[in-house]
Structure 1
Amino acid sequence: MSGDLRVWAPSASRVDLVLPANGTTEAMVADDGGWWRSPRPLLAGTDYAFSLDGGPSRPDPRSPWQPVGVHGPSRTFDVGAHTWADGGWAGRDALGAVTYELHMGTFTPEGTLDAAVGRLDHLADLGVEMIELMPVAAFGGHHGWGYDGVALWAVHEPYGGPAALQRFVDAAHARGLAVCLDVVDNHLGPSGNYLAEFGPYFTDEHQTPWGSAVNLDGDGSAEVRAFVIEKALRWFRDFHVDALRLDAVHALVDDSPRHVLADLSDAVAVLAADLGRPLSLVAESDANDPRTVTPTGSQFEGRAGYGMTAQWADDVHHALHTLLTGERQGYYADFGTPETLAKALTDVFVHDGGWSTFRGKNWGAPVPPDMDRRRFVVCSQNHDQVGNRALGDRPSRVLSPGALAVSAAVVLLGPFTPMLFMGEEWGATTPFQYFSDHEEPELGAAISRGRAAEFGGHGWAELYGADVVVPDPQAVSTFEASRLDWGEAASEGGARMLELYRGLVGLRRSEAAVASGDRGLTSVRVQDGVVVMTRLAAEGGGRVDVVLAVEEGFVSVVVERDLRAASVVLDSGAALGGEAAVVESRDGAVAVTVRGPGVVVLR
């Protein structure tokens, strides 16, 4: 490791470097601004910790490696030891990229980064362009979702540690796959969170669902903001990742003259120019606010933009899920009709300034018509929408293959940036449940009680029945039940669904009309409960019509186009082994009769 260790501890009068290997301590040297530095460099692979004013040993807030867990010593890591083979990698912008979200611990039986490398060919063959890893920052225990990380600069050791992440990214790039890392800056987990001992990383001036907010605008916030920004740049620079997904940015409460997200966006843009490849920031936001993806040099409704490359758009998921399942509980209350899906497909946000029944207030703002729809990431499944259900069950629990095909077609053929959740491409039936592994008995018991109490908070009793037992997140069986069953992909039904997904992804690549994010080239109409989405190419006259039948039984719809210039490029009935659609000419138009639920795509 080159250079001295440095740590920010502005309130400490003495900081000691603790070296567990020989049981010695060395006094750190005070620098300006509350910083302390070690008296000498440490070799790579050296374990160390810090003691503040004679207190207990604590891991480094910027620890690159926590080999024995988040309570143990840190370990130095030589980021330059890996010999990268991706010199020819030109990078991949997140806009429009077919993205695949996965949880490292359950994606393979081994649950490691190295094991996941063995599945990269599957993703490349599917047509995936960007892999999104759920958080890999070190957290308490062996297994968990990763959103309770506390060593935010380190890579969870059970996944393989920092060197394994470098190997994974290198292997992904070799197959033409970009890598997006999910990072959490809005809070830290409850186990192993020692940041407050080092400095004012948190503030009581703002509150979040997880307690005191990260200090982005109070005394000492300049160093906290630097902590957030420098960590992001490190993932891009030292681990060659292509994008970061920023968790719940609405909880980054910042009353500074310039929001931390805008500063982050500008810093990433500078690094991208220096590296000569695109670097993307994708925000999860509950605010339904186009300001999030408005450039930092521009304004949305008089407010400076945050400059994010893209943001998640949950309203599309909700409109699709409720229409197909009939669920209306909780935040699904304002969704569920074909017309609502049509609005989501054209306007992005269903709640775009109007009344939200779930929130009891007006919510959101309209997306400008000229804003690139690829700036919005949509899905029919993700870790939240599956994992936060009482049983962690996927749509495949209740939906037919035809209805799953409708979901896939909306996501993959719409104007947005599409995201798949691991296993959905073969109709996986394995659940993705909420699981944790807190080592502290009281904390583990509190997590279990809290999860059980949430059962009634979203109307789950109405959906599943009052006698359904919510899986205990602390039980190892809950984690094990959430592992993907790769054998399903080879089954007859799984293989057919997989081929359908490959066909839909192939259409995105081959049809300019599908790849476009231009709002003016997308129209959606509803006819007798059937949703017809028409995508036009900017040049060349290309056109794709997607007929989405969501009801059982035979339904017909008329598409205003010349049959002689049209061809059926995908029929979910035939693709999934069911009845094929009937397409015939009628008065100069095309009449499509399909057994629903199902989808027919005309080119």
Structure 2
Amino acid sequence: MAPIRVWAPNARVVECVVGAARHPMEQEPAGWWSWTPDGDGRVDYLFSVDGGDGVPDPRSAWLPRGVHGPSRTFDTQAFDWTDHDWRGPRDGRGALGGVFYELHLGTFTRPGTLVSAIAHLDHLVDLGVDVVEVMPVAAFGGIHGWGYDGVQPYAVHQAYGGPLAFQVFVDACHARGLGVCLDVVYNHLGPVGNYLSTFGPYFTTQHPTPWGPAVNLDGPGSEEVRRWVLDNALRWFRDFHVDALRLDAVHALHDHSGRHILAELSDETADLSVRLGRPLELIAESDLNDPVMVTPTAEGGRGMTAQWADDVHHALHVTLTGERQGYYADFAGGTEAWPDGTPLRVLAKTLTEVFLHDGRMSTFRGAPWGAPVDRREVSGHRFLAYLQNHDQVGNRALGDRISETISPGQQAIGAALYLLSPFTPMIFMGEEWRASTPFQFFTSFDDQWLADAVRQGRRQEFASHGWAADDVPDPQDPATRGASVLNWPECNTPGHTAMLDFYRELIGTRRREPDLSSGDLSATTVEFDEDDGWLVMHRGLVHVVCNLGQRARTVPLDAGLIDKVLVSWGRAPIVDEHGVHLDGHDVAVVRCVRDAG
């Protein structure tokens, strides 16, 4: 059996605890310790440092009894994969430019497991999805939660099914032509079951974060901490056949070393991609609004293949809902960021230039923010755009979806704009059928002090926005998670099937039309009339024509050039010499014989 090893550079003695037995571990160079068990079977074990209580392995692959229980050995090579011919998403072209679908395993189905999720993969294939983006699976305290408070990045949460179930899930996705993107969190660990400091300098107080001390990426002992992060990322690609990683809040990865850890990860991922013979991609969530994130490492960038584009979401949300509170204020215009801006002007900018804050003032942050994207050099596919995601829904007081606020026609407009944009689009689970279930913030911590702190924190946060404490769902109440589980039969009922069909048609149109599948930002322009409430996004010969007003109107477009109406939300639009006639809250996608823009 392979040795069990752990890094504990400051320890005098390390023991491997198996049941009641304590086995002294042999000291190795560079702060490592090892012990080789007898036999070839599974071993449940803990580590005791300098005679202390036994705690799990920082690289636990399997925690069958939760984050406080013993680690269990797991042979990642034992699974009989069937994806031997898998070349990556979209027949080897990679994930970018395809359609992503973000899901949370704990609420995607009532059982909330990887195996139960497989039953709905064919729905995603029929919809036209290319990549399934799975919210974090790293083991965390309790049974239910979002996963961003994980404490064991190497382990698959037992309530989801454990590591073998994740291999089965990825294999099932690949069998259907679906890529898998896994959400990973390296910027912090959760508060329950976080034993890393027992072993070594995994954290540093030199860089405070909203979650406490930062992960130590540039201080004494950081070389092995960095290796702990890098090895984790590469193992998901290598041992679990994942196609892409979404890296949570990379702006909180404080690294003042000579080489940023993201650049190092990018280069190592590229090398592994060559060895595996398939594309591997890294997608950052970054608050920096800086294209350096997707600039190749050879050019001094971080080397991420893509990043989330929150500004596109914010602009769509403000245009469709009229909300202007908090960070939405700049996206309505009329602030220091853009004194003469308007919602449609801001939306037009983000649809063509990605960032609103590209060096201009951010009133929410209180400082100039971001840098511009070179539309001629950078593909729009390097930015993920969305109408909703887990943050933008779940971090609202009630976890209410945008469909609770806007009409079906308004949602159709938003969907058409981001699904047919030059970006890589991402659908949030259930959005495609206008799901009525919310996605609320929920936890299931056993520690009463922590449960109370989370509950009070949520109530205090939203009290400042005028919400009564009793109106904010209790994160610890099992009913909060229960209310967030998707109601799958709903997608086949009136009022929901129409939206599902429309999303399916939009995605099919994106695939069929070369101008829509292109990521060329410089070939995308937007016209609008704020007073009349219309907007047209031009993508080469294809035009997304939107009537954002409640009353029917004619959107000017040279009808003599229109070759075909490709898809529309409401009634088939009337096209004449004046333009495209649309009902209120309506959208049509038309193709011209030559550019009408």
TM-score when scaled to structure 2? 0.95
Deviation at 1:467, TM superposition (A): 7.4
**Which of 460, 469, 472 in structure 2 is aligned with 1:453?**
460
Aligned counterpart in structure 1 of residue 351 of structure 2, from 334, 345, 351: 345
Deviations 1:7-63 (A, max 9, x none): 00001000001002xx21110000000000114466342101100011000000000
1:535 aligns with 2:539: yes
How far 1:466 sits from its partner (Å)? 4.8
The secondary structure found in structure 2 opposite 1:267 is: helix
For residues 39 and 371 of structure 2, the distance between their equivalents in structure 1, rounded to whole angstroms, comes to: 52
Q: Does 1:430 align with 2:432?
A: no
Quote the residue 2:293 is aligned against: 292
Aligned residue number for residue 492 of structure 1: 494
- Among 469, 482, 485, the alignment partner of 2:484 is 482
Q: Which runs of 5+ in 1 are unaligned?
A: 299-303, 537-542, 575-579
Which secondary structure does the structure 1 equivalent of 2:156 belong to? coil
**Contact 2:559–2:577 (8 Å) recurs in 1:** no
Query: Which of 551, 554, 557 matches 2:555?
Result: 557
Match among 51, 63, 67 for residue 66 of structure 1: 63
Matches within 5 A, 1:188-207: 188-207=189-208
SS at match of 1:6: strand
Paired residues for 1:118-197 under 5 Å:
118-197=119-198
Alignment of 1:588-603 (within 5 A): 591-603=579-591
| Equivalent of residue 79 in structure 1, options 71, 76, 82 | 76
Instruction: Find out whether 1:503 has 2:505 as its counterpart.
Output: yes
Take 1:431 and 1:137, find their aligned partners in 2: how far apart are those partners? 24
Find the counterpart in structure 2 of residue 103 from structure 1: 104
For the 8 Å contact 2:533–2:547, the answer to whether it is kept is: yes
In structure 2, the residue matched to 1:223 is 224
Aligned to 1:315: 311
Q: 1:150 to 1:534 in 2, by over 3 A?
A: same
Residue identity matched to 1:338: L
Task: State the Cα deviation string for residues 437-465 of structure 1 (Å, max 9, x = none).
Answer: 111011111110001111045x3x2xxx6
Native 8 Å contact 1:529 1:549 kept in 2: yes
Distance across 1 between alignment mates of 2:507 and 2:29: 54
Specify the SS of the correspondent of 1:307. Answer: coil
DSSP-derived class of the 2:550 partner: strand
Gaps (5+ residues) in structure 2? Answer: 333-342, 592-597
Q: Deviations over 1:375-426 (max 9, x none)?
A: 0001000000000000000011111110110111011100000000000000
8 Å contact kept, 2:108–2:485 = yes
Map 1:45-60 onto structure 2 (within 5 A): 45-60=42-57
- Report if aligned partners of 1:29, 1:39 keep a CA contact under 8 Å in 2: no
1:334 to 330, 333, 344: 330
**Aligned twin of 1:577:** none
Q: Please tell me whether the aligned partners of residues 156 and 166 of structure 2 are also in contact (alpha carbons under 8 angstroms).
A: yes
Q: Which amino acid aligns with 2:147?
A: G
Mapped to 1, the partners of 2:39 and 2:69 lie a distance apart of 18
CA contact (8 A) 1:412 1:504 kept: yes
1:402 to 409, 413, 419: 409
Q: 1:359 to 1:65 in 2, by over 3 A?
A: same
Would you say 1:38 and 2:30 are equivalent positions?
no
Q: Work out the CA distance in 2 between the residues paired with 1:585 and 1:566.
A: 13
* Whole-Å separation in 1 of the counterparts to 2:385 and 2:568: 23
Residues 1:547 and 2:553 aligned together: no
CA separation in 2, counterparts of 1:562 and 1:252? 54
Q: CA RMSD in A?
A: 1.2
1:315-394 to structure 2, matched below 5 A, reads 315-336=311-332, 337-369=343-375, 370-394=377-401
* 1:538-590 deviation line (CA, Å, top 9, x unaligned): xxxxx110012212111221124634x4211111113xxxxx4221124xxxx
Q: Classify the secondary structure of the residue corresponding to 1:552.
A: coil
For 2:554 and 2:116, locate their aligned partners in 1 and report how far apart those are by CA, in whole Å: 47
The separation in 2 between residues aligned to 1:35 and 1:381, in whole angstroms, is 45
Shift of 1:429: 1.2
Distance 1:517 1:41, change over 3 A: farther
Mapped to 2, the partners of 1:28 and 1:467 lie a distance apart of: 52
Which residue of structure 1 lines up, in the alignment, with residue 16 of structure 2?
Answer: 17
Amino acid at match of 1:380: L
Give the 3 Å change call, closer, same or farther, for CA 26–350 of structure 1 in structure 2. same
Cα distance in 2 for residues equivalent to 1:489 and 1:55:
53
**Preserved CA contact (<8 Å) 2:113 2:161:** yes
Partner of 1:5: 4
Which deviates more, 196-205 or 543-552?
543-552
Give distance in 2, aligned partners of 1:529 and 1:366: 28
Q: Is the 8 A contact 2:558 2:577 kept in 1?
A: no
| Contact 1:27–1:39 (CA under 8 A) maintained in structure 2 | no
Confirm whether residue 515 of structure 1 aligns to residue 517 of structure 2: yes
8 Å contact from structure 1 (residues 4, 42) kept in 2? no
Contact 1:378 1:417 in 2 (8 A): yes
Q: Do 1:5 and 1:37's aligned partners in 2 also have CA atoms closer than 8 Å?
A: yes
In 2 relative to 1, CA 344–42 (structure 1 residues): closer, same or farther, beyond 3 Å?
farther
Q: Secondary structure at the match of 1:333?
A: helix
Distance in structure 1 (CA, Å) of the matches to 2:460 and 2:42: 44
Distance 1:165 1:387 in 2: 24
How much does 1:468 deviate?
A: 6.2
Q: Are 1:94 and 1:310, in contact at CA under 8 Å, matched by a contact in 2?
A: no
Cα distance in 1, alignment partners of residues 74 and 37 from structure 2: 16
Counterparts of 1:444 and 1:556 in 2: how far apart (Å)? 55
| Paired AA for residue 585 in structure 2 | P
> What is the Cα deviation at residue 368 of structure 1?
1.0
The amino acid of 2:419's aligned partner reads L
Q: Residues 513 and 544 of structure 1 are in contact (CA less than 8 Å); yes or no, is this contact kept in structure 2? A: yes
1:237 paired residue number: 238
